[in-house]
Amino acid sequence: MRTLSLVLSAVIVAAAAASGQSNTESRPPSNETAGATIVAGTGKCFTCHRIQKAGSRSGPDLTDIGAIRTSDQLRAALLDPDAEILPENRRYRVVTHDGVTTVGRLLNHDTFQVLMRDTKDQLRSFQKADLREHGFVEGSPMPSYRMTLSPQELADVIAYLSTLKGVVAQ
């Protein structure tokens, strides 16, 4: 039965492709230069992300995101960042005995200490004996761009991110 379902799905996708239809909504033509401008400006992506040598290290590095993610995956991440958070990108929170809370990206922890990069891009080390609590934070700090970007802007940003393959022309 599963095989029949897979065959039928493949036939439907092939028929849609042959007729010029797609199983995704109609998308505007994109402009990667405009997308780069949005990423660096109004999108505020460099507040958390790094591309090449620009931006912060508090979020995932996007230098090679186009080599590891499809445009549909990029679209999904921009519209619903909480849907998939890779383990290495989860936020970690520590609270000291004095009540000071620090949130950031966990770099390492062992029996005695927690090493993390905080939201100000500072490397922080905490002795577990000095902590009241510590653990992973649910959800992504990245906002959804569903209401922030127009369909054209979203297409432009995806086009730009798709070009990021980690190789820099010399």
Domains, the chain, ordered by start: 27-85+153-163 (1.10.760), 87-136 (2.30.30.100)
The answer, yes or no, to whether residue 115 has pLDDT greater than 70, is yes
Q: What is the DSSP secondary structure assignment for residue 137, as one 8-state letter?
A: P
Do the beta carbons of residue 39 and residue 145 sit within 8 Å? no
Model pLDDT, residue 89: 87
Please check the confidence at residue 14 and state whether its pLDDT lies above 60.
Answer: no
CA angle, residues 73, 77, 78, in degrees to nearest 5: 120
Per the CB < 8 A criterion, the answer to whether 77 and 60 are in contact is no
pLDDT above 70: residue 130: yes
Residue 20: which pLDDT band, with cuts at 50, 70 and 90? Answer: very low
Question: Worst-scoring range by mean pLDDT, 26-30, 48-52, 90-94?
Answer: 26-30
pLDDT for residue 112: 96
The answer to whether the CB of 74 falls within 8 A of the CB of 158 is: yes
CA torsion, ordered 128, 133, 135, 141, to nearest 10 deg: -120
pLDDT at 134 over 90: yes
